[in-house]
Amino acid sequence: MRKNFVYFFILFIPFLSFSQDKLQINNITIKGNKITKEEIILRELTFQKKDVLNKKILDKKIKESEENLTNLMLFNFSEISTEIEGLQATITIEIIERWYIWPYPIIELSERNFNVWWNEFQESSYSDFSRMNYGIFLVWENFRGKNELLKIKYRRGFKEHYLFNYEIPYFNTKKTIGINASAQLFRRKKSFFNTLNNKLVYYENNRDYTTKDFELELDVLYRKDTRQKHKLKLHYLQSNIADSIADLNPDYLKNEKKNGSYFKATYQFVNEQRDYVEYPLHGYYLHFELTKHFAGTSPVQHFEAMTKAEKHIEIQNRFFIGSSFMAKISSHRDQPYFAQKALGFDDYVRTYEYYVVDGQNFWLSKTAIKYELIGKTNFEIPYVKMSQFKKAHYSLYLSIFTDFGYVMDNQNFEENNLTNTLLFGRGISIDYITYYDKLLRIEYGINKLGEKGIFLHFTNPF
């Protein structure tokens, strides 16, 4: 009998110790949300009231929840703290909200990036200001305090753009289904119609518009948990072009007309595990999408598959490495010019900013080793009383990068020598990050052509 009691005691003690390590969340308090509804914040938490969790698991969930709140892009600062009494835990979430209504005056460069514009500006002896846009852009973030997004743009100048966009993150009781709708019109008096020698070729008519593009898009978003998203996108594009563009490039629309159109349906899956989407240092990201095009007045009817993966780790104290790989493949080799896009626009090999590399398929690999010169430093701006602007932060990183890319083109490869060949660039970068997700990258690099240069960017390089 005594022997059985000893066995029971040995087995029971670890169980008792394990049980006492668990905490019940008895309350969640949110502070600082003057505009944001509590349901928006609670939706990002990986725990909820009455949960019973091991202390280590709770700490992990708190860290994940802080990252989720950061990636909402609604708060300048967000912090989650825990107060423990016995086996009860009280969670306090403190946030500092951003300013959400931005009526931007538009005075911007109408080029693919700053470096291209500056090169053209230099060639004109610093006198050509024609590639400028002006107008007003209303961006209302966190509309109605429900993380809804409203955009209205009225832009004139080199590239006219009129936009209405409304995004609702969810509208059902389970907070899993959202919707995004947009309509936009582009009008240009100077439009590119072809790619020769890896540069865009333009046609200009000062009296009339050379291209008019009208787009409609409707997205349905499904988000069951905080990190994974599914999206179904329905898109329609109609393009009207000048007679001269149809004559100069019959493959622009491939229909012997002055207007072309097509529809496309896209399924998209995203698994977001990065700590900060604007400048990640830890975590990973997975993106996959499959698109089917349907012919309208242009013969655009191919399939496309696109995938992207990122990984960011801290390899040593203050040293980080980030790497990404993306690829796109298409089912048809013969596509209208206005329906295909490879490298040189949204995606590019660094140090090839001056070039456009067109094709139907491509892959792109980016790697950077970063050293933290100045970690995230908080400070208060003197004489500023508004809480949305008073408290700020900044950080500074030194980066060494190497990019590789390859574009497969079956249509105009004889006129563009950067297609169907390996592209690579390398260099160093100084990255400055501050609040409101503002980022400045100053890069110095060299490419396979032996060209060297300094490049400015304002977005995440991955």
- Selected residue with higher pLDDT from 461 and 423: 423
CB within 8 A of 251, min separation 6: which ones?
Answer: 336, 337, 411
State the first-to-last Cα distance of the chain, in angstroms, to the nearest integer: 67
Q: Find residue 168's DSSP bridge partners.
A: 179
- Strand pairing category for 199-204 and 211-222: unpaired
Please, what sign has the CA dihedral across residues 50, 56, 57, 60?
Answer: positive
Instruction: Verify that 308 and 431 share a domain, yes or no.
Output: yes
Of the residues 40, 66, 97, the one at which a domain ends:
97
**CATH code of the domain covering residue 70:** 3.10.20.310
Same domain? 360 vs 214: yes
Is there a single domain that holds both residue 359 and residue 259? yes
Residues 76 and 222 in one domain: no
**What is residue 2's predicted lDDT score, i.e. its pLDDT?**
53
| 340 and 431 both lie in a single domain | yes
* Overall residue count recorded for the chain in this entry: 462
Q: Residues 87, 24: contact at Cβ < 8 Å?
A: yes
Half-sphere exposure for 412 (CA within 13 Å, toward CB): 24
| Single residue among 77, 97, 117 that ends a domain in this structure | 97
Distances (CA, A) of 1 to 8, 9, 11, 12, 190: 11, 12, 16, 16, 95
Contact assessment for residue 427 and residue 445, using Cβ atoms and an 8 Å cutoff: yes
pLDDT band at 16 (very low <50, low <70, confident <90, very high): very low
Q: What is residue 4's predicted lDDT score, i.e. its pLDDT?
A: 53
> Are 85 and 186 members of one domain?
no
Residue 253, domain CATH: 2.40.160.50
Does residue 335 sit within a domain? yes
Domain total of the chain? 2
Tell me what pLDDT residue 9 has: 46
Determine which of 170-179, 199-208, 256-265, 451-460 has the lowest per-residue pLDDT on average.
199-208
Q: Output the pTM of the full model.
A: 0.86
Instruction: Look at residue 347 and tell me whether its pLDDT is greater than 90.
Output: yes
Question: In DSSP terms, which residues pair with 403 in a beta bridge?
Answer: 366, 425
Q: Where are the beta strands (DSSP E) in 189-301?
A: 190-196, 199-204, 211-222, 228-241, 259-272, 283-295
Percent above pLDDT 70 for the chain: 92
pLDDT at 340 over 90: no
Q: Is the pLDDT of residue 163 over 60?
A: yes
- Identify which of 70, 77, 68, 69 has the alpha carbon closest to the alpha carbon of residue 95: 77
3-class secondary-structure state, position 242: coil
Say what the pLDDT of residue 14 is. Answer: 47
**Average pLDDT over all residues of the chain:** 90
Under a CB-based contact definition with an 8 Å cutoff, are residues 240 and 246 in contact?
no
Pair 324, 222 in one domain = yes
Among 45-59, 103-117, 147-161, the least confident range: 103-117
86 and 204 fall within a common domain: no
What's the whole-number mean pLDDT along residues 389-400?
95
* Residue 162: inside a domain: no
> Are both 324 and 422 inside the same structural domain?
yes
Mean pLDDT on 124-132: 67
Final residue in a domain of this structure, among 49, 68, 97: 97
* Contacts of 106 by beta carbon, 8 Å cutoff, 6+ apart: 133, 134, 135, 136, 137, 153, 155
Question: At residue 44, does pLDDT exceed 50?
Answer: yes
**pLDDT over 90, % of the chain:** 75
Pair (297, 399) in one structural domain: yes
Kindly list the strands in the beta sheet with 22-31, ordered across the sheet, starting from the edge strand earlier in the chain: 52-54, 22-31, 88-97, 75-85
Least confident of 19-28, 176-185, 218-227: 19-28
**82, exposed or middle or buried, with CB in 10 Å at 0-12, 13-18, 19+?**
middle
pLDDT surpasses 50 at 13: no
Domain of residue 443: give its range: 169-457
Is the confidence at residue 329, as pLDDT, over 70?
yes
**In this structure, what token pair is assigned to residue 62?**
């708190």
Q: Answer yes or no: is 462 within a domain.
A: no
Residue 323 lies in a domain: yes
How is residue 216 written in tokens?
């409609």
**Beta carbons within 10 angstroms of residue 433's beta carbon:** 20
> pLDDT for 51-107, tens place per residue?
999 999 999 999 999 999 999 999 999 999 999 988 899 999 999 999 999 998 887
pLDDT tens-digit series, residues 404-419: 999 999 877 788 999 9
Q: Are residues 198 and 70 in the same domain?
A: no
Residue 130: pLDDT band with limits 50, 70, 90 = low
At 385 the pLDDT is 87
Residue corresponding to tokens 């574009």:
407
Over residues 388-399, mean pLDDT = 94
114 vs 70: which has the higher pLDDT:
70
More confidently predicted of 6 and 300: 300
Helix, strand and coil in the chain, % to nearest 5: 15, 55, 30
Lowest mean pLDDT among 156-165, 371-380, 429-438: 156-165
For residue 142, is it within any domain? no
Q: Which residues contact 213 (CB under 8 A, 6 or more apart)?
A: 185, 186, 187, 237, 238, 239, 240
What was the pLDDT predicted at 80?
96
Residue 123 lies in a domain: no
Within a domain: 152: no
Are both 411 and 316 inside the same structural domain?
yes
Torsion sign over Cα 69, 72, 74, 75: positive
Confidence tier at 148 by pLDDT (50, 70, 90): very high
